[in-house]
Amino acid sequence: MQRLEKLVRKKGALFMPSLIIKVLIRLLDRVTTLYYRMQLASLGNGSVVQFGAKIENPRQVHLGDGVLIQRGVRIGSENLSGRLRIEDNVSINRGVLIDHTGNVIIESGALLSEGCVIYSHSHGLNPRSDPTPVDKRIGRAVWIGFRAIVLESCTEIGDGVVIGAGATVARSLDKSGVYVGAPIRNIR
């Protein structure tokens, strides 16, 4: 309490509304995580699903320990058979879209930067056709950059791969390196 009083004296009355908002956001994050703890197939220790994240078909989703799913993330599937497994210590940042119509595995330590998109199905040339699921593996310690797109034609991203911002991944990347551009190319 004394610490709070010192902060109010130091920062003034404007400090209090921002503190209240931060406390409310933390509370909403805890409630959201608790909700998904009851809905998901599994949710590991220390994992957080922030308020504003949306997980469709939660019974098909497994989250490991220490997973962070930030606000604005959308996880969904066009069928009820596709599964998503996210292993330990994975960070999924704001605005990420993960389609798990095909089975998707995101392995330990991966980082999905803001706004990236991962697709695991195709409709071919007919947008009204049934989806054709494609299994996808994203390896350990992979970093997918800001607004990169991983298309269904990419079935595997190998361990330690870095994908640059805005890249379009249309093929599998089985060896580590730094990949950029559209079409994607290895620069390191």
pLDDT digits (tens, 9 = 90+) for 125-176: 998 999 999 999 999 999 999 999 999 999 999 999 999 999 999 999 988 8
- Supply the CATH number for residue 151's domain: 2.160.10.10
* Residue pair 147/116 in contact by the 8 Å Cβ criterion: yes
Residue 176: the pLDDT is 86
Helix, strand, or coil here: 163?
A: strand
Supply the range of the domain harboring residue 140: 2-186
Residue 37: the pLDDT is 96
Residue 158: the pLDDT is 95
Q: What is the pTM of this model?
A: 0.88
Q: Is 179 exposed, middle or buried (0-12, 13-18, 19+ CB in 10 A)?
A: buried
Residue 20: the pLDDT is 83
Residue 102: the pLDDT is 93
Q: End-to-end CA distance of the chain: give it in Å, rounded.
A: 53
- Count of domains in the chain? 1
Residues in the chain, pLDDT under 70: 1-16
Number of helices followed by number of strands (H, E) in the chain = 2, 22
Residue 9: the pLDDT is 58
CA Rg, the chain, in Å?
19
Q: Could you tell me which of 120, 74, 112 has the C-alpha nearest to residue 93?
A: 112
State both tokens at 49: 């699903």
State both tokens at 92: 């999924």
Residue 12: the pLDDT is 56
